[in-house]
Amino acid sequence: MTLWISLGVGGALLVAWFLYISGDGGDHDRGARTRLGRAWRRIVLWAGDVRRIGCFPWVTWDVSEHLVEYEEAQSALPAIRPGDVGLHRERGYLSNLAIPGFMKHAWLHLNGPQRFGRPGARELCDTGSMEIVEAVSEGVLRRSALHPVRSDYTVILRPRNVTPASTRWALEKARRIVGCEYDVDFKFDIEEELEHFQSDAPPTAEELAGRRGEMEAFLDNLRAEWDGGFSCSEAVSFAWWHEQKKLGLHRRPMRGKQVIPPDAFFNRGFEIVWMSESVTPEMAAKCGLNEEGVQMICEHRDREKLAREAGAEAATAPETAVARRRRGRLWRRLRRRFGGRRRAAGQGDSAASNQQPTTNGQQG
């Protein structure tokens, strides 16, 4: 009896599933197709999304889609400089519930694009060698700058009023922690980390260049000895900790710990240099971003609007100048062509009048 009930339930589910996948769909399923044909088409398209993974349930058909498209992410890279801080938020992750606030991840940009061409003229940007340092579940990694920018909500921040020497020191400290583990305890013991990695005082450029090989071997031992780790915002804070007061980096109590969340970088120590179209003040306020951060987003949107209007005016101005030059060239050509003929005709008449008395004299 139990077997027949199981078969009946299984058959009913199979029929319901078949009716579901063979029903009328969107634009790609329209047309004179039979129900069986529509079912076959959807099965084939679904099979193209199924892939194997290395953990339970060992298969998935999830399609990774981001609000920030590839072209929009590429447009952000030319605006990035060394030392910039990136923030993003991705939908659907369970860790979003554990990390309060709008943004959920932070990273540090190690370099900017390589530019070719004359200054002031049209420049070409090579963004293929741009890299970041970020702390993820696999540890502190050094990877392509495009990887975290292509997300759902992305913002690029730049520290204000920092010197090039200070930026170089922040990048050097970020390179020192590459290879460390991820801090699952979220301790934010930055002072101990600075002392362990000997990053409390910046060396001179000559010392840094002369001890590069020795320092790399030394840092390998430091990473092996360090039993702690770095979370994403902790790694960025560690790199910029020598500018702590200027950049407004302070721990705050959150879920029983003293941490620096990604939203803490939304302060007047930083400025927004790029932001994806998906980031809006309404969305940020709804997700818990502080008022200062929401105001920064509004100000950046206003600057973008003014820049677009100025660009539109600049785009029309060259056309007017070109049209004016073309009209000038046309008038000059007309004057040369018709004015030359008039002068030639006038010269011919004057020559004829000068020769007329001489001819009359000869006849007399």
Which DSSP string do the residues of 293-352 spell out, in sequence order?
HHHHHHHHHHHHHHHHHHHHHHHHHHHHHHHHHHHHHHHHHHIIIIIHHHHHHHHHHHHH
In this predicted model, what pLDDT tens digit does every residue of 194-229 receive, in sequence order? 887 765 556 566 655 555 555 555 555 555 555 578
Q: What's the CA gap between 150 and 104, in Å, rounded?
A: 14
Segments of the chain assigned E as strands:
51-52, 59-60, 85-89, 105-109, 114-116, 124-126, 131-136, 139-144, 153-159, 252-254, 257-259, 270-275
Q: Name the pTM for this structure.
A: 0.71
Predicted pLDDT of residue 271: 97
Give 225's contacts (C-beta < 8 A, 6+ positions apart).
Answer: 196
Give 340's contacts (C-beta < 8 A, 6+ positions apart).
Answer: none
Predicted pLDDT of residue 364: 35
H-only helix segments in 177-280? 190-196, 205-210, 212-225, 232-239, 244-247
Q: DSSP code of 200?
A: S
The percent of residues above 90 in pLDDT, for the chain, comes to: 44
Nearest one of 130, 113, 122 to 79, comparing CA atoms: 113
Q: What's the CA gap between 156 and 3, in Å, rounded?
A: 60
pLDDT value at 106 more than 90 = yes
Residue of higher predicted confidence among 198 and 302: 302
pLDDT range class, residue 103, cuts 50, 70, 90: very high
- The structure tokens listed for 330 are 């046309």
Q: What's the CA gap between 238 and 193, in Å, rounded?
A: 8
What single-letter amino acid sits at 235?
A: A
The percent of residues above 70 in pLDDT, for the chain, comes to: 73
Mean pLDDT lowest among 4-8, 39-43, 83-87, 222-226 = 222-226
- For the chain, the C-alpha Rg in angstroms (whole number) is 34
Predicted pLDDT of residue 250: 93
- The structure tokens listed for 343 are 């002068």
Mean pLDDT lowest among 108-112, 162-166, 175-179, 211-215 = 211-215
pLDDT value at 360 more than 80 = no
Q: Can you state the angle between helices 232-239 and 164-176, rounded to 10 degrees?
A: 140
The residue behind tokens 């801090």 is: 183
Query: 157 has which bridge partners?
Result: 85, 272
**Contact call for residues 176 and 198 (beta carbons, < 8 A):** no
Residue of higher predicted confidence among 324 and 221: 324
Predicted pLDDT of residue 63: 65
Predicted pLDDT of residue 298: 97
pLDDT value at 359 more than 50 = no
**Sequence spans of domains, the chain:** 77-117+124-310
In this structure, whether the domain defined by 77-117+124-310 belongs to CATH 3.90.1720.10 is answered with yes
In this predicted model, what pLDDT tens digit does every residue of 278-287 receive, in sequence order? 999 999 999 9
pLDDT value at 336 more than 90 = no
